[in-house]
Amino acid sequence: MSHYFPPGSTLGVLGSGQLGRMFAIEARRLGYGVHVFSPEENSPTAQVADREFVASYDDLEAIEEFARSVSVITFEFENVPAASTDVAQKFALVDPCVDILSLSQNRNREKTSLAKMGIPVPQFMPVQNRDDLFQAVEKLGRPSVLKTATMGYDGKGQTRIEVDTDLEQTWREYEGQESILEEFVEFELEISVVGARSRQGDFTACGPILNEHRNHILDLSVLPAGIPENISQQAIEITRTVMTECNVVGVLCIEYFLTKDGRLLVNELAPRPHNSGHLTIDACETCQFEQQVRAIAGLSLGRFHHYQPAAMINLLGDEWELGEPDWQELSRQFPDVKVHLYGKQEPRPGRKMGHLTCLAETGTEAASRVRKARELLTARYR
């Protein structure tokens, strides 16, 4: 099977949200066709793709039909069933590899594998039953964080274990689910690195990017992160090591905690483009989505070099709560702020509807601009 797919080939993406949409836009710009597979009709990705396959991820016949229609398949999110990827790779190349997908689908597997590589991670213990939970809390102490091993994102599926937390009651909420207890990390900052690795093994990275969360959902990202150079290089080298050890072709983001005593700990892997990397579309010579296209198509990677400091802020469905945001006024007062909307029809609280990006002389200035721009969107309702 050839591992180079020239423009004119068709790329497949499993998953159909905003990450797939931005991937498809870059793929189309480079001359590739795009087919998308997901259970959702008229999805953000399907709106800009050539063909939409609508079926459940466990519909293996539909997966086969989809895989036969494309040259190579990549992922928009990591929770695709293993049986589906097993079928897909019989008929098309699948990148990143199924192994990294499986690893990132389960926090116990992820943390255990990283620890074996010598990668620094928070202390953790697998929790399969009530006794495991009590023993893990006894060892790791309080506060600590109990998380489901699978399907958790944006703060879902996790509980902070405090001094007064009733473990019996907490376990009733988690019973029957594989879980993990992690030490509570007193961190100074949260950062991320977006790495790209080609089929030839070349590597490049964007970041570290400074991240701020609100209600467990990423709110603001700033590039550069403004941290010491030795910490930046360590984060990039860890990202390189993980991608090399796991033979990742494509894009992978690693989220890190920087502790108050200057240690880096890996919080989470995302074997795909990442919310914090959206600012690369406007700020970098080559954005994370073009890197994803280049990597899986067998092309050489571009440079992540950023033109200026930049900041990105998320737009959630909350911004639509009182009515349509004032886009006209935003364009008038903030001509330097770029608007990216995802084509989602129904705004809901906590749902990512789009983002704003700004470049400026400093990251602090860029962050201030996007914050003020978001505030303006709903100012007429206040």
Give the pLDDT band (50/70/90) at residue 302: very high
Q: For residues 13 and 104, which has the higher predicted lDDT (pLDDT)?
A: 13
Q: Are residues 272 and 301 in the same domain?
A: yes
Q: Are residues 89 and 142 in the same domain?
A: no
Q: For residues 229 and 322, which has the higher predicted lDDT (pLDDT)?
A: 229
Q: For 247-297, write each residue's pLDDT tens digit.
A: 999 999 999 999 998 899 999 999 999 999 999 999 999 999 999 999 999
Encoding tokens for residue 235?
Answer: 């984060």
Residue 155 belongs to some domain of the structure: yes
Q: Among the three residues 134, 158, 183, which one is the final residue of a domain in this structure?
A: 183
Residue range 354-364: average pLDDT? 98
Residue 15 belongs to some domain of the structure: yes
**In whole angstroms, what is the distance from residue 260 CA to residue 263 CA?**
7
Average pLDDT score, the chain: 94
Q: What pLDDT score does 77 carry?
A: 85
Encoding tokens for residue 106?
Answer: 């389960």
Q: Among the three residues 183, 218, 253, which one is the final residue of a domain in this structure?
A: 183
Percentage of the residues of the chain whose pLDDT score is greater than 90: 86
Q: Are residues 41 and 158 in the same domain?
A: no
- Could you tell me the CATH number of the domain that includes residue 15? 3.40.50.20
Q: Which residue(s) pair with 255 in the sheet?
A: 192, 268
- Does the pLDDT of residue 212 top 90, yes or no? yes
Encoding tokens for residue 120?
Answer: 């620094």
Q: For 34-57, write each residue's pLDDT tens digit.
A: 999 999 999 999 999 999 999 999
Give the pLDDT band (50/70/90) at residue 156: low
Lowest mean pLDDT among 96-105, 165-174, 240-249, 262-271: 96-105
- Does the pLDDT of residue 174 top 80, yes or no? yes
Whether the Cβ atoms of residue 196 and residue 267 lie closer than 8 Å to each other: no
Whether the Cβ atoms of residue 181 and residue 133 lie closer than 8 Å to each other: yes
Q: Are residues 148 and 192 in the same domain?
A: no
Q: Are residues 196 and 282 in the same domain?
A: yes
Q: What pLDDT score does 102 carry?
A: 83
Q: What pLDDT score does 97 carry?
A: 77
Q: Are residues 206 and 349 in the same domain?
A: yes
Q: What pLDDT score does 145 carry?
A: 93
Q: For 304-353, write each residue's pLDDT tens digit.
A: 999 999 999 999 999 999 899 999 999 999 999 999 999 998 999 999 99
Encoding tokens for residue 78?
Answer: 């990591």
Residue 280 belongs to some domain of the structure: yes
- Does the pLDDT of residue 151 top 80, yes or no? no
Residue 296: count of CB within 10 angstroms of its CB = 29
Tell me the C-alpha to C-alpha distance, in Å, between residue 191 and each of 145, 256, 261. 19, 5, 15
Residue 88 belongs to some domain of the structure: yes
Q: What pLDDT score does 131 carry?
A: 92
- Does the pLDDT of residue 1 top 70, yes or no? no
Q: What SS3 string covers the chain?
A: CCCCCCECEEEEEECCCHHHHHHHHHHHHCCCEEEEEECCCCCCCHHHCCEEEECCCCCHHHHHHHHHCCCEEEECCCCCCHHHHHHHCCCCEECCCHHHHHHHCCHHHHHHHHHHCCCCCCCEEEECCHHHHHHHHHHHCCCEEEEECCCCCCCCCEEEECCCCCHHHHHHHHCCCCEEEEECCCEEEEEEEEEEECCCCCEEEEEEEEEEEECCEEEEEEECCCCCHHHHHHHHHHHHHHHHHCCCCEEEEEEEEEECCCCEEEEEEECCCCHHHHHHHHHECCCHHHHHHHHHHCCCCCCCCECCCEEEEEEEHHHHCCCCCCHHHHHHHCCCCEEEECCCCCCCCCCEEEEEEEECCCHHHHHHHHHHHHHHHCHHHC
Residue 161 belongs to some domain of the structure: yes
Residue 5 belongs to some domain of the structure: no
Q: Are residues 286 and 225 in the same domain?
A: yes
Q: Are residues 261 and 350 in the same domain?
A: yes
- Report how many domains make up the chain: 3
- Does the pLDDT of residue 154 top 70, yes or no? no
Residues shown for the chain: 382
End-to-end CA distance of the chain: 59
Residues with Cβ within 8 Å of 346's Cβ and at least 6 positions away in sequence, in order, are 317
- Does the pLDDT of residue 158 top 90, yes or no? no
Domain that holds residue 47: 10-94
Selection from 302, 313, 292 nearest residue 248 by Cα = 292
CA dihedral over 113, 56, 52, 218, signed as positive or negative? negative
Residue 359 belongs to some domain of the structure: yes
Q: For 27-39, write each residue's pLDDT tens digit.
A: 999 999 999 999 9
Q: Are residues 217 and 357 in the same domain?
A: yes
Q: Are residues 228 and 315 in the same domain?
A: yes
Q: Are residues 332 and 364 in the same domain?
A: yes
Residue range 90-117: average pLDDT? 90
Residue range 177-186: average pLDDT? 92
Residue 114 belongs to some domain of the structure: no
Q: Among the three residues 166, 183, 200, which one is the final residue of a domain in this structure?
A: 183
- Could you tell me the CATH number of the domain that includes residue 142? 3.30.1490.20
Q: What pLDDT score does 126 carry?
A: 95
Q: Are residues 90 and 232 in the same domain?
A: no
Q: What pLDDT score does 82 carry?
A: 85
Q: What pLDDT score does 109 carry?
A: 93
Q: What pLDDT score does 2 carry?
A: 60
